């Protein structure tokens, strides 16, 4: 799997947040229901995003989470790195320690270029871009497809 489940859940949730960013807090309960993700699990994941200040949270009634800046300023890469770390983008395809430095593995050239392309793709795409695309083309971010971008 390219991305962990946690990461995928984090992406889905932040896409949703970016899709109707209005300054208000959205409760994790609401996110978890719309996205059909376990509430407690999603809470844990989103905590990782608030920990690195990609999100802000507020406890209590009217509380919830919101992006800490405009969704245009947050890239998919920001979310991926916050949750899965840099491994995907730095590790050797053969799992050898210290990709690239000293002695590369036989797959290095091929993999390094594909890997850079993945990074480029994630880095050049903002949450808002993806959310807008999803909204405009009515794309899917849940398994059943019942989700609607209001």
Partner DNA sequence: TCTATTTAAGAGTAATTTGTCTTAAATATA
Partner DNA sequence: TATATTTAAGACAAATTACTCTTAAATAGA
According to CB under 7 A, which residues from 44 to 83 bind DNA?
Answer: 44, 46-47, 50, 57-65
According to CB under 8 A, which residues from 69 to 88 bind a second copy?
Answer: 76, 87-88
- Interface residue with a second copy among 2, 22, 62, 150 (CB under 8 A) is 2
Name which of DNA, ligand FES, a second copy, none residue 99 binds, using a CB cut-off of 5 to 8 Å depending on partner kind: ligand FES
Residue 9, number of CB atoms within 10 A of its CB: 22
d(CA 11, CA 141): 10
Residue 119 is a binding residue for ligand FES (CB under 6 A): no
d(CA 139, CA 112): 31
DSSP secondary structure code for residue 72 in this structure:
T
Are the beta carbons of 77 and 107 closer than 8 angstroms? no
According to CB under 8 A, which residues from 107 to 146 bind a second copy?
Answer: 107-108, 110-111, 114, 117-118, 121, 125, 130-131, 133-134, 138-143, 145
d(CA 74, CA 59): 23
For binding to ligand FES (CB under 6 A), which residues are involved? 92-94, 96, 99-100, 104-105, 107-108, 111-112
């Amino acid at each position: 799997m390219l991305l962990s489940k946690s990461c995928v859940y984090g992406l889905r949730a932040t896409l949703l947040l970016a899709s109707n960013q209005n300054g208000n807090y959205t409760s994790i309960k609401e996110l978890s229901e719309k996205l059909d993700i376990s509430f407690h699990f999603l809470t844990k994941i989103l905590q990782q995003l608030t920990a690195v200040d990609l999100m802000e949270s507020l406890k209590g009634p009217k509380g919830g989470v919101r992006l800490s800046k405009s969704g245009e300023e947050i890239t998919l890469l920001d979310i991926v790195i916050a949750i899965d770390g840099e491994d995907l983008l730095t590790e050797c395809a053969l799992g050898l320690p210290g990709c690239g430095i000293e002695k590369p593995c036989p797959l290095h050239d091929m993999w390094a270029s594909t890997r850079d392309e993945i990074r480029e793709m994630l880095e050049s795409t903002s949450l808002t871009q993806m959310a807008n695309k999803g909204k405009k083309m009515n794309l899917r971010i849940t398994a059943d497809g019942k989700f609607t971008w209001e």
